[in-house]
């Protein structure tokens, strides 16, 4: 423990009690990268983890670093809960991000590429090409690349071109004069995004058998001189620029949210520069030239030994049929009560049904909406859509329902980051089918995961609901862990109906029976439940809190958890990513444990469990403990009231708390230590247990 605070009373707002959000996010990416360095993980999956860590880092710079840079310009003296100014944050981010990038390329070059080579999966460097390979690759360049590559010589008539966000580019050093007598000495070549970044050599050119790959950048380096007839290429160096990709929509100054989002999307590829990656072999003079062009300082420069975009290496997973180097196939289970009943509504009437994805299939959710589409008893379907994926079966079912004459209402969040374009297209597609489409509430993202089906059964109307912690996305449901609840509880159904009414009619907030909803009652409701545990502990009654979320950032929630620890409440936090709370601080948080599970599946569920003097309460939610979820989004937090389902979730949480294989414990200095079992302990891997138990 690095902090010892003994004064009484302790100021729970002291900066020493908070970890920096951005550095915590970098720590998460370190844990992801650690999977790429783990011999127990199948080799191609290790490569996949490396790519994920790089993709995560891209988004980190596009969104998080960009926002810190903006804050440094707008309010350089502003400080967060941790007391760091924007400039101080940027300095620390630069140190940790450079360490992470160095480790990424070390893992690639010194570990994964040699191990893949032993499995006859090779990345062939230019100096290693055989004569036959060189001939094939030259033909590939002439036939597939040369016709679409457009180099731009830099001179007064050809200024430095606009560089797309995260695109692959080359700066080329030239000598000699072109056909018009020009000699600027430099040219820029932009590689179209449609081009593959890795090219597989034909089997007959794969010396020694197996699968041989060549990076696109290597091919361009080898034959780039063919683009400059009569001139000499003295150097060719790849580079990539990351730009601010978060966009701003002024909620007070727009008449049409759709048009506003479309307008901002057009500018996303040309936001302010936040990072520059360049080939490590690039001469310093050229590096300086690029830095000057992009008006960037060296703390945001990354010199890399390999492709500037490691994400695209992920493509080989689809090109190689080596199941022995991947995770074993896994088929999600279907709950018995749904397998036994063809009528999903009848099954829900018998009792609430809980789904735990991906251990249990997402197909019942699709089937729920499909049956609603074809059922003559169904009058209306209402649903929120945040991320759905292309060609979603859920969207197809909603369109069929609307065309069948049912009242279908869909709340689409246009500002789901990096899915904005897809959601605009989705909105148009649904509107063409006469679906009532609304875009939520201006100023608040609609992040709640809800579906309501209204049926006429005899003389009564009954609401059936599905509430989830994750998106209505069949593909991500195969790799994200989430909970989904089916219920026809009258009060719960009425609550969901009222929330939809708020979203579509602009009516005032109405009191809900069972749901907690942000931005109205969710934050205060959770704080009150924490305070109730504090009262129980002070009165000598059973008190315990278990929370599983993606992030813990919001200050008042952290302070409430600190007070709970001080009162003797046992607090267990399972936090996948960012955590700004410091565990293990004497007098403040010694009763708080924070662990992160990094495994085959991405932990995405949000669960809030309270002992409550033996009268346990368990809630699942779409919301993390973050300011945006509590105050700037429409979220729902729904109770799991069935004792049977409560017990199941609590058993799952306790399984995660016993994990000694994929768990990392947060230390009070912000670092994480991976748990290792002792020689006498039995190995526990929570995700594997859940996979096996549900087969």
- Terminal CA-CA length for the chain: 42
Confidence of residue 208 (pLDDT cuts 50, 70, 90): low
What percent of the chain has pLDDT above 90? 77
Instruction: Decide the pairing of beta strands 353-357 and 232-243.
Output: unpaired
pLDDT tens for each residue of 110-145: 999 999 999 999 999 999 999 999 999 999 999 999
In this predicted structure, the answer to whether residue 614 has a pLDDT above a threshold of 90 is yes
Predicted pLDDT at 64: 94
Active site residue 134: no
Judge contact between 19 and 581, C-beta under 8 A.
Answer: yes
In this predicted structure, the answer to whether residue 350 has a pLDDT above a threshold of 80 is yes
In this predicted structure, the answer to whether residue 205 has a pLDDT above a threshold of 80 is no
In this predicted structure, the answer to whether residue 333 has a pLDDT above a threshold of 70 is yes
Q: What is the 3 state secondary structure string of 7-67?
A: CCCCCCCCHHHECCHHHHHHHHHHHHHHHHCCCCCCHHHHHHHHHHHHHHHHHHHHHHHHH
Distance CA 581, CA 21 (A): 10
155-164, 363-372, 611-620: least confident range: 155-164
Structure tokens, 674 = 């991976």
Predicted pLDDT at 417: 62
* Given 221, 356, 357, 447, the catalytic residue: 447
pLDDT tens for each residue of 247-306: 554 444 444 545 544 555 455 556 899 999 999 999 999 999 999 999 999 999 999 999
Dump strand ranges (E) for 469-505. Answer: 480-487
| The CATH number of the domain covering residues in 16-325 | 3.30.1840.10
pLDDT tens for each residue of 651-660: 999 999 999 9
Confidence of residue 615 (pLDDT cuts 50, 70, 90): very high
Select from 24, 23, 17 the least CA-distant residue to 1. Answer: 17
Q: What is the mean pLDDT of residues 583-598?
A: 97
Confidence of residue 425 (pLDDT cuts 50, 70, 90): confident
The CATH-assigned architecture of domain 518-693 is 2-Layer Sandwich (3.30)
Q: What is the mean pLDDT of residues 320-342?
A: 90
The CATH-assigned architecture of domain 336-514 is 2-Layer Sandwich (3.30)
Q: How many CA atoms lie within 13 A of 512 on its CB side?
A: 25
Q: What is the mean pLDDT of residues 404-429?
A: 79
Distance CA 268, CA 261 (A): 11
pLDDT tens for each residue of 428-439: 888 888 899 888
CATH 3.30.1840.10 residue ranges of the chain are 16-325
Confidence of residue 386 (pLDDT cuts 50, 70, 90): confident
CATH 3.30.870.10 residue ranges of the chain are 336-514, 518-693
Predicted pLDDT at 1: 46
Confidence of residue 321 (pLDDT cuts 50, 70, 90): confident
Confidence of residue 159 (pLDDT cuts 50, 70, 90): confident
Predicted pLDDT at 209: 60
Predicted pLDDT at 254: 43
Distance CA 569, CA 273 (A): 46
3-7, 389-393, 633-637, 657-661: least confident range: 3-7
Q: Bigger pLDDT: 348 or 250?
A: 348
Structure tokens, 129 = 């090409």
Q: What is the mean pLDDT of residues 486-511?
A: 90
Q: What is the mean pLDDT of residues 50-68?
A: 95
Q: What is the mean pLDDT of residues 394-413?
A: 92
Confidence of residue 312 (pLDDT cuts 50, 70, 90): confident
Predicted pLDDT at 250: 44
Structure tokens, 533 = 């545990």
Q: What is the mean pLDDT of residues 1-30?
A: 84
In this predicted structure, the answer to whether residue 539 has a pLDDT above a threshold of 70 is yes
What is the helix, strand, coil percentage profile of the chain, to 5? 40, 25, 35
Average pLDDT value for the chain? 91
In this predicted structure, the answer to whether residue 444 has a pLDDT above a threshold of 80 is yes
pLDDT tens for each residue of 173-192: 998 876 666 666 899 999 99
């Amino acid at each position: 423990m690095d902090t010892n605070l003994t004064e009484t009373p302790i100021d729970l707002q002291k900066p020493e009690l908070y970890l920096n959000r951005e550095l915590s996010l970098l720590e998460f990416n370190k844990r992801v990268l650690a999977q790429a360095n783990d011999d127990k993980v199948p080799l191609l999956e290790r490569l996949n983890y490396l790519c994920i860590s790089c993709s995560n880092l891209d988004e980190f710079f596009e969104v998080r670093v960009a926002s810190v840079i903006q804050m440094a310009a707008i309010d350089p003296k502003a400080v967060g809960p941790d007391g760091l100014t924007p400039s101080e944050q940027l300095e620390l981010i630069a140190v940790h991000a450079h360490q992470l990038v160095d480790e990424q390329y070390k893992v690639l070059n010194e570990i994964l590429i040699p191990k893949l080579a032993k499995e006859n999966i090779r990345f062939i460097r230019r100096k290693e090409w055989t004569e036959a390979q060189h001939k094939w690759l030259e033909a590939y360049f002439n036939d597939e690349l040369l016709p679409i590559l457009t180099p731009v010589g830099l001179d007064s008539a050809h200024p430095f071109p606009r560089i797309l966000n995260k695109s692959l580019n080359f700066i080329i050093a030239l000598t000699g004069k072109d056909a018009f007598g020009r000699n600027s000495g430099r040219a820029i070549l932009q590689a179209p995004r449609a081009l593959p970044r890795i090219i597989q050599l034909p089997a007959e050119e794969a010396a020694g058998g197996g699968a041989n790959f060549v990076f696109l950048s290597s091919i361009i380096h080898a034959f780039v001189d063919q683009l400059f007839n009569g001139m000499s290429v003295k150097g060719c160096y790849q580079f990539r620029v990351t730009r601010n990709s978060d966009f701003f929509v002024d909620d007070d100054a727009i008449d049409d949210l759709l048009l506003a989002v479309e307008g901002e999307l057009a500018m996303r590829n040309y936001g302010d520069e936040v990072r520059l990656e360049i080939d490590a072999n690039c001469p310093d003079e050229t590096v300086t030239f690029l830095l000057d062009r992009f008006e960037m300082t060296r703390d945001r420069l990354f010199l890399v030994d390999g492709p500037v975009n490691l994400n695209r290496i992920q493509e080989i997973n689809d090109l190689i049929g080596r199941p022995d180097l991947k995770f074993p196939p896994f088929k999600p289970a279907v709950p018995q009560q749904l397998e036994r009943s063809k009528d999903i509504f009848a099954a829900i009437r018998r009792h609430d049904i809980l789904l735990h994805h991906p251990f249990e299939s997402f197909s019942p959710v699709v089937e729920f909406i499909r049956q609603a589409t074809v059922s003559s008893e169904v009058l209306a379907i209402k649903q929120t859509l945040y991320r759905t994926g292309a060609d979603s079966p859920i969207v197809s079912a909603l369109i069929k329902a609307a065309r069948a004459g049912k009242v279908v209402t869909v709340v689409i969040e246009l500002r789901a980051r990096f899915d904005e374009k897809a959601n605009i297209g989705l909105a148009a597609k649904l509107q063409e089918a006469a679906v009532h489409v609304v875009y939520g509430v201006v100023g608040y993202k609609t992040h709640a995961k809800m579906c309501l089906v209204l049926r006429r059964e005899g003389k009564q109307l009954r609401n059936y609901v599905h509430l989830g912690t994750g998106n209505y996305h069949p593909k991500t449901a195969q790799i994200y862990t989430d909970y989904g609840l089916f219920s026809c509880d009258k009060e719960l159904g009425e609550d969901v109906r009222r929330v939809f009414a708020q979203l579509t009619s602009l009516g005032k907030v109405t009191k809900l029976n069972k749901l907690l909803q942000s931005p109205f009652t969710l934050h205060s409701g959770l704080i009150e439940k924490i305070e109730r545990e504090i009262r129980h502990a002070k009165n000598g009654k059973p008190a315990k809190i278990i929370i599983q979320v993606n992030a813990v950032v919001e200050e008042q929630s952290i302070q409430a958890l600190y007070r709970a620890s001080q009162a003797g409440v046992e607090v267990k936090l399972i936090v996948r990513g960012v955590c700004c709370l410091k565990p293990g601080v004497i007098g403040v948080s010694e009763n708080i444990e924070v662990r992160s599970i990094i495994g085959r599946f991405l932990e995405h569920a949000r669960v809030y469990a309270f002992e409550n003097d033996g009268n346990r309460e368990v809630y699942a939610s779409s919301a993390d403990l973050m300011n945006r979820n509590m105050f700037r989004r429409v979220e729902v937090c729904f109770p799991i009231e069935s004792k049977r389902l409560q017990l199941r979730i609590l058993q799952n949480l306790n399984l995660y708390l016993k994990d000694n294989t994929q768990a990392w414990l947060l230390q009070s200095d912000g670092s994480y230590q991976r748990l290792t079992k002792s020689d006498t302990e039995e190995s526990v891997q929570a995700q594997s247990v859940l996979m096996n138990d549900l087969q």
